[in-house]
Amino acid sequence: MTKMDISRRTFIHTAAAAGGGMILGFSIPGISPALARSVMPEGWKDPAGGVEVSAWLTIDTDGTVTVRVPHTEMGQGALTSVSMFIAEELDVPWKDVKAVFASANRHITQGEEYVNMSTYGSNLVRNRHPHILQAGASARERLKEAAALQWGVARSAVTAKQGVLSSGGNKGTYGEFASAAAAVSLAEEPKAKEYLDWWLLGTDVPRMDVDIKTDGSAIYPIDAVVPGMVYASVMSCPVPGGRLKSYDFNVIKDRPGVIQAVALTQVKDKLGRTDQMSGIAVVADTFYRAKTALELMPVEWDLHAGIGLSTQSMEAEAQGLLGMDAEHVEEVRGDPRPILAASPADKIVTADYMRPTESHVCMEPAAALVSITKDRVDVWSKTQSVQGTLMLVADQLGRPPSEVYCHGTSQGGGFGFGSAHPAPRQAAEIAQAVGRPVKVIWTREEDIAQARTRPPVWGRFTAAIGSDGLPTAMHARTVGSSQKPDFADRVIVDQHYSVPNYRFERHAVKSHIPIGYNRAPGANSNGFLIEQFADEMALAGGWDPLEWRIKMTEGNERWQRVLAKMKEVCGYTTDLPKGVGMGVAVVEAHNATVGACATVEVTKRGALYIEKVHIISNTGYVINPRNAHEQNFSSVVWELSHALTGGLDIQGGRITNGNLDKYALMRMPEAPVVESSWAMSHDGWWGGFGETSAPPTPPAVANAIFAATGKRVRSTPIIKHDLSWS
Amino acid sequence: MSFQLNINGKTHDVDIEPETPLLWVIRDSVGLTGTKFGCGIAQCGACTVHVDGKAVKSCSVNAATAVGKQVTTIEGLGADGQHPLQAAWIEHTVPQCGYCQSGQLMAAAALLAKSPKPSDREIDSAMAGNICRCGTYTEIKAAIKTAAKIG
C-alpha cells in the first residue's frame, strides 16, 4: 500500500482547472491514512497523482492516465467499461490506465460534469457511451492542440497515438503536454470514432478490480469505518406500511455496549424508491451487540390493513381476474376476439402462466455509514448512484447537497436493489439522534423482508391457428400488482411476432408489497410468459419452434440476426431421445435482443439437469467480449435461481421466507455451462449486457423441459412441478 | 470477557461476550473486513475462514471456540506470498461484485489442502455451501482446477 500524504490533500476541489494542477484527492478529517485508502472516493486503489486534463481524467508525468469513473462498480465492470471508452478515444496503452471513482459532490456542485452518475437499466454502455467517448476524444484533441501550439503546426498535423504526440520531427508524451492541454479550449468538440476504427473497444480486457477482490482488500459500504463510529441494527414494520407503536428500551438498556434506541420516522421519498418505513433501531458499540439487543427488545407494531394479503389470496384474486375483461386494453393490431370466437376448438391454443414475487438478495445486504459534522456529511452506502444517495441524505438532514460527500466503493451486488432502500436515510436519522457516526447494517432477514420486490405476474394467452399452422389472432391478458400494474408489460405488448390480430389486456391484484427493479425487471417474468406461449403456438401449428420464430419475425433485422446465429451455432434440434430436450427463447428488452438455447436432461424420476445455456446477444455492439460473456453466465445463473427454486411467500401481509434457508438460490452443483455468441447489428443502437441475458433463459429451459418430457412448466419455481415421465 | 485469538499468526486481545460469533469479532473487534457477513445462519458461506485449517462458517461459531486455535482469514491466505488460488482467481477474472469471493477462496483453499487434485464432484461438494449471486461458479471451478494443475 502506498502511504498517503495527507498534507497534499484537501477536502474536495482540485486545484484550478485552467492551467491544470495537482489532483488533491478527497481526504476526510480524522481518518488514518490506512483507513483513508479504504474509504476515499478513489478508494478501490491508491489514487494517482497527475495533471487534471478534465473532470474525467488526469495524466501523470510517467504516462499513467487515471480515469474518474462516475458509475457504480457492482461486478458488472463499470470501472473497466468507462476506462476503455476513455482510453479508446484518448489513445493510450491500456497498461497505463488506472481507474478511480469520481466525486458525486463535485458532480452536483460543478455543473454535473459527469452528466448522470446513476447505474442501472444496463445504461452505462447503452446510453452513457456518447458523452464518455466524447470526454476521451476531447482530452485527446486538447493534447494535440497544446502540442500544435508549441510546435507551431496545425492541430491536424499532430498525431496522438498510444500516449505519444508527434508531428514531423517533433515528439512528446501526453504527460509532457497535460498541463498545457488543460488550458486549451476547443472551438468545436471532436466527434467520436466509428466502430470500425476501434483498437481497444471490442477486445477482451480483464476487469480492472479483480485483484483487490481476491485478497480481502476491496472495501464495500459494510466495511467502511470512521473514528467514533457506532453500529445500528434496524427493523422496519414487517408488514410494509405499518407503524411502530411502542418499544421498551429499558429491557435492553443495561446490556453490554448498548447506547440508545431510535424510532425511525416514516419518510415518503420524493426522490423515489427509497421510502423509509416506520421502524426501530438499536445502537451499540458493535453490530452484534446492537443486533442481539434489538432482537430482545419488546416492540409492538400497528400493522397495516394489508395484513390479510397472502400468496393464496393474491392467487385467488388473479385467477378471478384472468376470466374477466380488463379496463386497460391495448389493441396492438386490431381485435382478435371475433376470430378466436369463430375458430374451431382444435385450432385454439390457450395457456395460463404465472411467476411469483422475487427478491434480489445481494450478497452484501443494505448497509450505510453516515458521519455528520458541522461542515460536512460523509456517506458510504450500498447504492447504484452516489449522486442519488448524496441527494437522499441531504434531503434527510436538511443540509445543502454541497456539504454532502457520498463515497464510491465496491458494491456487493446491485441488481436494481442498490439504490432502492432507505439505509442511508436510516443511518442519517440515527447519526443525528445519537450525535455520532452510525453504520446501519441490515440483517439478511431484514433484507428479504424489506427489499422492494419484483412483483408477481399472471397471464392468460389465447391464439387461433390458421391453415398454414401460423397464428391468425392472439389475445393476451395479464395480471400484475396494484403497486405497479404496468411492470414491464412491454415485453408482451410489444412482442415481435407478426400475429395479424393482437390485443392485450391488463389487470392488477391489490397489494401493498413495495415494488422495485430486479435485474431485467419485468422482462424476466413477462419473457417467461410470452416465450413459452410462442413455443406452444408453434408446436400447435406443427412448426419447429426455431423456424417458427424465424418466419414470424421476417423483416426484423435484429431478431433475424439472433435467430440465424442461433440456428448456425447452437445445434438446436427437436429430434432427441425422450428425457433430453432443447429449447429456445428470445426476449428484447433494455434495447438488446437476446436469445437463449437451453439443453436439459430430465430423468424418468423427474430430476432436472440443465446442461447448457447458449446465449446469442444482439446488443448492437460488444465493447468487451470477455466481460460480456461473464455478464451472460452471471445473468443466466441469476434468473435460473428464481425460476428453479425461488418464489417469495407472503402470509399475513408480510414476506415470510426469512433467510436463505427458505429462499433457495442456485449453487455450484446446479450451475449450467454457459456459452456466448454475438450477432451484433452495428447499426447505431446500443444495448447492454448487465442483465439482458436473464429474461430468455427460463423460458428456453421450460421449452427444453417440454421437449424432453412433454410436460409444460407454466409457473415457477420449476422445482414445484413433477417432471417425471415414463 | 477478555480472551485471546490467534488470527493470521498474530495474537489479538479481545474483550467481548464469548458467545459473539467469530465473524463479528474478526470484522468489528479485530478490524479485518475481508471476511463478509451474508446471512448469519451458515447458508451462504461469505464468512468462511479456516480454524486449524478447516473451512468454518464464522457467522455460526462462537469466537470462544477458536481460542487456542489458528484462525486464518482471507487477509492471511497469501501470507507466504500469493496463494495459487488467488493467482488462478485473477487469471480467470473470477470475482464480479467480489463480495462472496473471500469465502469462496477460503472454502477452495481448505479443499485443496485436503485434496490437492479434487474431482469435479469433490469441487461441487466442497463449494456447495458458498453462494455467489453473480453466478461465477463455472469460473470458480475452472480456477480451482488451474490452481490444482488439473486438465
Any A CB within 8 A of B63 CB: no
Q: Which stretch of A296-300, A304-308, B3-7, B106-110 has the lowest confidence by average pLDDT?
A: A304-308
Q: Where a domain ends, among A213, A242, A267?
A: A213
Mutate to test the interface with A, among B75, B133, B145 (most CBs of A within 10 A): B133
Look at residue A12 in the predicted model and tell me its pLDDT. Answer: 24
Q: Do A175 and A240 belong to one domain?
A: no
**Domain of A194?**
6-213
Shortest CA distance from B140: residue in chain A: A668
pLDDT in tens, A98-134: 988 899 998 999 889 899 999 988 888 999 999 999 9
pLDDT of residue A20: 29
- Whether the CB-CB separation of A92 and A174 falls below 8 Å is answered with yes
Average pLDDT value for residue range A396-411: 95
Domain boundaries, chain B: 2-77, 84-147
Nearest to B99 among A413, A665, A667 (CB): A413
Domain B84-147: give its CATH code: 1.10.150.120
Q: What is the average per-residue pLDDT within A460-484?
A: 97
Could you tell me if A402 and A461 lie in one domain?
A: no
List, as one string, the DSSP characters of A135-172.
HHHHHHHHHHHHHHHHHTS-GGG-EEETTEEEETTEEE
Distance from CA of A434 to the nearest CA of B (A): 20
Compute the distance between CA of residue A238 and CA of residue A235 in angstroms, rounded to an integer.
Answer: 8
- Cβ within 8 Å, pair B41-A635: no
**Shortest distance, CA B130 to any CA of chain A (angstroms):** 7
- Average per-residue pLDDT for chain A: 91
Q: Is residue A448 part of a domain?
A: no
The reply to whether A614 falls in a domain is yes
Average pLDDT score over residue span A471-489:
93
Interchain contact, B95 vs A213, CB within 8 Å: yes
pLDDT at A543 over 80: yes
Whether A659 sits inside 8 A of B37 (CB atoms) is no
Within 8 A of A641 by CB-CB distance, chain B residues are 133, 135
Which 3-state string (H, E, C) describes chain B? Answer: CEEEEEECCEEEEEECCCCCEHHHHHHHHCCCCCCCCCCCCCCCCCCEEEECCEEEEHHHCEHHHHCCCEEECHHHHCCCCCCHHHHHHHHCCCCCCCCCHHHHHHHHHHHHHHCCCCCHHHHHHHHCCCCCCCCCHHHHHHHHHHHCCCC
Residue of B nearest to A441 (CA): B37
A371 with A336, same domain: the answer is no
By Cβ distance, the residue of A210, A668, A669 closest to B90 is: A210
A461 and A504 in a single domain? The answer is yes
| Band of pLDDT at residue A8, cut at 50, 70 and 90 | very low
Q: Looking at A152, A178, A213, which one is the last position of a domain? A: A213
* DSSP letter, residue A555: T
Q: DSSP assignment of A277-330, as one string?
A: PSEEEEEESSHHHHHHHHHHS-EEEE--GGGG--HHHHHHHHHHHHTS--SEEE
Best of B37, B127, B130 to mutate (most A CBs within 10 Å, chain A): B37
CA-CA distance, A9 to A308, in Å (whole number)?
57
pLDDT at A40: 40
Nearest CA in chain A to B19: A288
pLDDT at residue A424 is higher than 50: yes
Q: Within this chain, do residues A25 and A125 fall inside the same structural domain, yes or no?
A: yes
Whole-number pLDDT of residue A1 = 32
Question: Are the Cβ atoms of A207 and B140 closer than 8 angstroms?
Answer: no
The CATH number for A546's domain is 3.30.365.10
Average pLDDT over residues A373-383: 95
pLDDT of A254: 98
C-alpha cell at A198: 476501434
Whether residue B39 lies within 8 A of chain A, CB to CB, comes out as yes
Q: Are residues A133 and A282 in the same domain?
A: no
Question: What's the pLDDT score for residue A41?
Answer: 41
The type of residue at B40 is G
* Residue in B17, B46, B96 nearest the CB of A75: B96
**pLDDT tens figures, A547-561:** 999 999 999 999 999
- pLDDT band at B79; cut points 50, 70, 90: confident
Over residues A677-684, mean pLDDT: 96
CA distance A216 to chain B (A): 4
Q: Are residues A326 and A257 in the same domain?
A: no
Asked if A665's CB is within 8 angstroms of B133's CB, the reply is yes
Pairing of strands B70-72, B48-51: antiparallel
What pLDDT shows up at residue A302?
94
Test mutation, B15, B44, B96, chain A, max A CBs within 10 A: B96
Check residue A49 and give its pLDDT: 64
Q: Which of A7-16, A400-409, A438-447, A627-636 has the lowest mean pLDDT?
A: A7-16
Residues A52-85 have pLDDT tens digits of: 888 899 999 899 999 999 999 999 999 999 999 9
B103 interfaces chain A, CB cutoff of 8 Å:
no
Contact A661 B16 (CB under 8 A): no
If asked whether residues A275 and A335 sit together in one domain, one would say no
A717: cis peptide before it, omega within 30°? yes
Residue A24 has pLDDT above 60, yes or no: no
- The CATH architecture one would assign to domain B2-77 is Roll (3.10)
User: In this predicted structure, what is the pLDDT of residue B80?
Assistant: 81
- Which residues of B fall within a CB distance of 8 Å from A35? none
Model confidence pLDDT, tens digit, residues A141-178: 999 999 999 999 999 999 999 999 999 999 999 999 99
Task: Report the pLDDT value the prediction gives residue A29, as an integer from 0 to 100.
Answer: 40
Does the pLDDT value for residue A35 go beyond 90?
Answer: no
Residues in chain B within 8 Å Cβ distance of A363: 36, 38, 44, 46, 97, 99-100, 131-134
* Domain's final residue, options A194, A213, A232: A213
Mutating which of A38, A215, A613 best tests the B interface, going by the most B Cβ atoms within 10 A? A215
Query: Residue B93: its chain A contacts at CB < 8 A?
Result: 206-207, 210, 626, 630
> Could you tell me if residue A432 is inside a domain?
yes
Residue A487, pLDDT score: 84
> What pLDDT score was predicted for residue A488?
72
| Contact criterion met (CB < 8 Å) for A220 and B99 | yes
Report the pLDDT averaged over residues A476-481. 97
Same-domain status, A195 and A131: yes
pLDDT of residue A34: 39
Find, in chain A, the residue whose alpha carbon is nearest to that of B136. A634
Are B21 and A288 inside 8 Å of each other by CB? yes
CB contact under 8 A, B98 and A410: yes
Same domain, A198 and A341: no
Distance, CA of A630 to CA of B96 (rounded, Å)? 8
Percentage, residues of chain A above pLDDT 70: 93
> Minimal Cα distance from B45: which residue of A?
A363
B62 close contact with A: CB closer than 8 A: no
Q: Do A216 and B102 touch (CB under 8 A)?
A: yes
The set of cell numbers assigned to A534 is 410462442
Residue A156: per-residue pLDDT = 97
Structural domain total, chain A: 3
Is the confidence at residue A657, as pLDDT, over 50?
yes
> Residue A211 is nearest to which of B17, B33, B90, comparing CB atoms?
B90
**Chain B residue numbers touching A215 (CB-CB < 8 A):** 34, 74-75, 77-78, 86
Q: How far is B134 from chain A (nearest CA, A)?
A: 5
Q: Is residue A401 part of a domain?
A: yes
Is pLDDT of A372 > 90?
yes
Residues of B in contact with A637 (CB under 8 A): 132, 134-135, 137
pLDDT (tens digit per residue) in A579-633: 999 999 999 999 999 999 999 999 999 999 999 999 999 999 999 999 999 999 9
Query: Do the chains contact at B86 and A214, CB–CB below 8 Å?
Result: yes
| pLDDT tens-place string over residues B15-55 | 999 999 999 999 999 999 999 999 999 999 999 999 999 99
A75 sits in the region (left: phi over 0; alpha: psi -120 to 50; else beta) called left
pLDDT of A510 reads 96
- CB contacts of A43 in chain B (<8 Å) are none
**Chain B residues with CB-CB distance to A286 below 8 A:** 16, 20, 24, 28-29
Q: What is the pLDDT of residues A197-238, one digit of tens each?
A: 999 999 999 999 999 999 999 999 999 999 999 999 999 999
Over residues A263-282, the pLDDT tens digits come to 999 988 776 678 888 999 99
Q: What is the DSSP string of A374-441?
A: SS-EEEEE--S-HHHHHHHHHHHHT--GGGEEE---B-S--TTTTTSS-HHHHHHHHHHHHTS-EEEE
A331 shares a domain with A261: no
Confidence of residue A577 (pLDDT cuts 50, 70, 90): very high
The alpha carbon of A84 is separated from its chain's Cα centroid by a whole number of angstroms, namely 20
Q: Output the pLDDT for position A642.
A: 97
Q: Across residues A372-396, what is the average pLDDT?
A: 95
> B93–A214: do the CB atoms touch at under 8 Å?
no
Of B24, B130, B135, the CB nearest to A636: B135
Residue A3 pLDDT class (50, 70, 90 cuts): very low
For residues A491 and A559, membership in a common domain is answered with yes
Pairing verdict, β B2-7 and B70-72: parallel
Kindly state whether residue A446 falls inside one of the protein's structural domains: no
Q: Do B89 and A633 count as a contact with CB atoms less than 8 A apart? A: no
Over 80: is that where the pLDDT of A665 sits? yes
Prediction pTM value: 0.94
From the list B28, B78, B138, the residue facing A674 with the nearest CB is B138
Q: Which residues of B touch A72 (CB under 8 A)?
A: none
The predicted complex's ipTM stands at 0.98
Q: Residue B57 above 90 pLDDT?
A: yes
Q: Which of A211, A216, A633 is the closest to B138 by Cβ?
A: A633
Q: How is residue A209 annotated by DSSP?
A: T
Tell whether B46 lies on the interface with A, counting CB pairs under 8 A: yes
**Residues B92-138 pLDDT 10s:** 999 999 999 999 999 999 999 999 999 999 999 999 999 999 999 99
Q: How many cross-chain Cβ pairs, A to B, lie less than 8 Å apart?
A: 180
Distance (Å, rounded) from C-alpha A71 to C-alpha B61? 38
- Per-residue pLDDT reduced to its tens digit, A483-538: 999 887 889 999 999 999 999 999 999 999 999 989 988 899 999 999 999 999 99
